[in-house]
Structure 1
């Protein structure tokens, strides 16, 4: 709130100061362009920083930088003002994605309420900052504005000093590649594409407003600097009411409806304001209208952020947000330049009405299209999946903080390899069960290892049964429990956790007709031996193949009993189909990855999606029209090489 108060001081004071110096709308527009254009240029860096760095420290550093670069404003020269606006914009481009990306982390499942609370802070900042900026400029000059601006930023740094819980940031990867991944997330999701387009329309209007508002107040209303600041500030009164409502009684409001109807209401109210001077120029009327317009502004902003935070993949929220802010900045530049150039030939009222019309079009798209596309998302939970968390490996344990739901009703599928130690497995699953409505787990090979450092000598089937009992104690579902049914799709989907193992039947062409001993020898000659050969004991079965055969028989019996009108989510640690093993660096490793006996299960059991891990090659593939999701996190040495860094959570349904 302190940082936003400081920002509003400059947003109000600098355009007024430039207009007083030059008397030129074009010069005022140029100041605003200098204040937003760097956000476009820096958006790739801003989004990547927001996803990689400690966001609390990043926000504090931005505040410090803004305080330092504001000092040259004391000279009051026009070129210096342009330069300072550009530097301030560059720093703000980092601030906004980092702050917004923190919301779903600190308030999982409560993004609308959290954004409403942020809206309250924004309104208080706007009310105080805009009024203070106008009053200080009018009575004490730009120097007083700079002093107050710096003091507010210092206070913000003080509030950011205490540490708070935050996931470990994403590790290094090429910045441009990481940013392009964020763009790919937008291209893949029609809801994000629509929101970006709506943002562009609204931002063109906002850019026009920034330039034309000063002319509106000084022209048709016949008011001065203090009144300009007051009108910008009183909008926050209505925003306070809306923000408090969203944070309390309306905390479960659908984000898409907030965005769509809020934008429509904003456009209608703006149209009333711009045309009211034909009836009256009484300043009290406009105070009331600007208070009223604050309500839809907070509604649409809270809805916009909540939609993006909800729909964006958890690992790239900062990058998606930074792209949205870049589009917003670029569209604002277009609006500012257009308003500055066209206000003379077209007239002030015509351009202001066009600004209102842009918001009405954006709101109509939100109501007619986005609400329909998001209604199912808003009203039903989400099913997520993860695997191969390997929490005992240095660097992975802090990432568990990122495995969080958007809603308390969300489900989580854990496809094995949480850890080798039983206590580490159950402690991690218990933590996840506290966050998700349902957690379903299947064992991977690492849970089944009997290793000296574990302190537990249980082997084979006995170890598996012990893990099942430990999971039941904490409310986590296992392959031995009743199957859950996901009722939020076009057909009922039975969630089928499967413990299957492997039987060495996935061979290289050279080993296709060889004996098992010969196939294993070939793998050893290639330098490939799975650690299972030493630690995964099949007791009481003679071999792992025998244990696998028993698990296949047990699983088939349970799958055959699923109602014929149900689809399935087939969840296992080892892939059911061989095609995901194609990218393996050592194809011999496929021996330990599955069995030919499950190659048709995705068709035989009407799978909507097959979820698995084990390969440490997270990606989406398709076979026979069925989606296969490899959802592993993997070892730190692996995810640190990926452009997207660690992605410990994948949306499945």
Structure 2
């Protein structure tokens, strides 16, 4: 890779605050993935129940559905860095309590469910605030899309390391050490947040109305704009019907592939490899042109990958399928995030990103619970195949709506003063040569 290509790939790192964020989050996210893998394996080891895997997934994510919209209002009102320091500190305590319960040998399933609920409530506020905070860390607005892609790359780079390390640790010393290391990893992100120098954002002193009024205002803004509405609905469908495959990976690892904790770790790492490849590709793009078509293609790839994993009976094919699924899922999410972050009005950023969080994370608990229940009725293979079909239908519907979006988006972008590249990126179904990145 040439020097110029590397500069394009890493251009958001020229912002000091974003460099600090990347340094802290890179450590913390490895611990997060370790805990996620270890918790899933612990539940399945204690119960042998795919349904209870779904229950734990439900309790860890349902608070996002309930509370993220309120968190979005707070993100538009309050100091986002202080909110993040509070949520990260609470997550560190949650991991420490879980580690203590496991290491002392007193852990029971209800402990895991309760602590998952606590973490879910923390994440309900942390995720939309963190999504909104990205724009404050990036000094050059043109680097926003690259920062979002790099953030996804960081998540999935940790996904390569965390599950593999967790699988080895679980097999050798048990799940408790994974939870303990995750708790310690939060110190890195807390130190990074404390070291940042953040300028007060414009409009932060604007008089505020009742929370419910501002929540309604954000909802009308989000779902009254066809491109945002289409993106949110596609992400919600994928999260509800496709992403629950992650909940069933332990079932496939043990019962279909006849492996152990290390097999589970390898499968999760394969999905991470695909996701990392997708986000590195997005980060290397010099333009946001063509993202509309990329959203359609990545949704279709995700569906194909999940279907291949459902039908596979060999480890190598399962790993290959999860690489495809991981690439499709994360390319879709990062592309949608990039478009949303670029077109939003600043005073509504927190609220719209909270709806994005609800679509991506908030729908997942219903998918997890449904997947666990359906596995008991029709088996894990048919459950994943049905989800893959739904995702493919969503991709087709979004593709058919692109001409309509093209008709609606240009006058709205002109009125809002949106960068021309973004308008072209949503309005065309094919890649075009890069254009100057100018404000209207």
Q: TM-score, normalised by structure 1?
A: 0.56
In 1, Cα distance between equivalents of 2:205 and 2:257 = 51
Are residue 119 (structure 1) and residue 184 (structure 2) matched? no
Instruction: Identify which of 44, 50, 53 aligns with 2:75.
Output: 50
**Which residue of 279, 284, 291 corresponds with 1:248?**
284
Asked whether the equivalents of residues 192 and 311 of structure 1 are also in contact (C-alpha less than 8 Å), the reply is no
The aligned counterpart of 1:176 is 212
Asked if 1:133 corresponds to 2:158, the answer is: no
* 1:97 corresponds to which of 128, 133, 138: 128
The one of 328, 334, 340 equivalent to 1:308 is 340
Distance 1:355 1:437, change over 3 A: closer
Structure 2: gaps (5+ residues)? 1-24, 102-106, 424-436
> Separation in 1 of the partners of 2:28 and 2:74?
19
- From 202, 220, 227, the equivalent of 2:256 is 220
Tell me if structure 1 keeps the 8 A contact 2:235–2:359.
Answer: yes
The root-mean-square deviation of aligned C-alpha atoms, in Å, is 2.7
The whole-number CA distance in structure 2 between the counterparts of 1:166 and 1:370 is 38
Question: 2:51 maps to which residue?
Answer: 26
Specify every segment of 5 or more residues in structure 1 that has no aligned partner in the other structure, as ranges: 386-404, 411-434, 439-653
Provide the rounded CA distance (Å) in 1 between the counterparts of 2:164 and 2:213: 43
Q: Is the 8 A contact 1:267 1:360 kept in 2?
A: yes
Question: Following the alignment from structure 1 to structure 2, what is the Cα–Cα distance between the partners of residues 63 and 148?
Answer: 15
Alpha-carbon distance in structure 1 between the residues aligned to 2:242 and 2:186: 25
* Max Rg structure: 1
Q: Which has the higher contact order (CA 8 A, sep 6+)?
A: 2
Q: Distance in 2 between matches of 1:170 and 1:309?
A: 22
Q: CA deviation at 1:254?
A: 3.0
Q: In the alignment, what sits opposite 2:312? A: 276
How far, CA to CA, are the matches of 2:191 and 2:165 in structure 1? 21
2 CA distance for matches of 1:375 and 1:115? 27
Give, in angstroms, the shift of residue 337 of structure 1: 1.9
For 1:164, what is the secondary structure of its paired residue? coil
Higher helix share: 2
In the other structure, the counterpart of 1:35 is: 60
1:333 and 1:240 map into 2 onto residues whose CA distance is 24
Q: CA deviation at 1:299?
A: 1.4
State how far apart, in whole Å, the 2-side matches of 1:339 and 1:99 are: 29
Indicate conservation of the 8 Å contact 1:234/1:287, yes or no.
Answer: yes
Residue correspondences, number = 391
CA contact (8 A) 1:256 1:374 kept: no
Q: Displacement of 1:132 after TM fit?
A: 2.4
- TM-score, length-scaled by structure 2: 0.81
Moved runs in structure 1, 4+ residues, more than 4 A?
374-381, 405-410, 435-438
| 1:376 positional shift | 7.7
Aligned mates of 1:56, 1:341 — CA distance in 2: 39
Q: CA deviation at 1:258?
A: 2.5
Q: Any conservation in 2 of the 1:9–1:132 contact (CA below 8 Å)? A: yes
Q: 1:326 aligns with which of 346, 354, 358?
A: 358
Q: Distance in 1 between matches of 2:169 and 2:44?
A: 16
Q: Which of the two has greater strand per residue?
A: 1
Aligned residue number for residue 373 of structure 1:
405
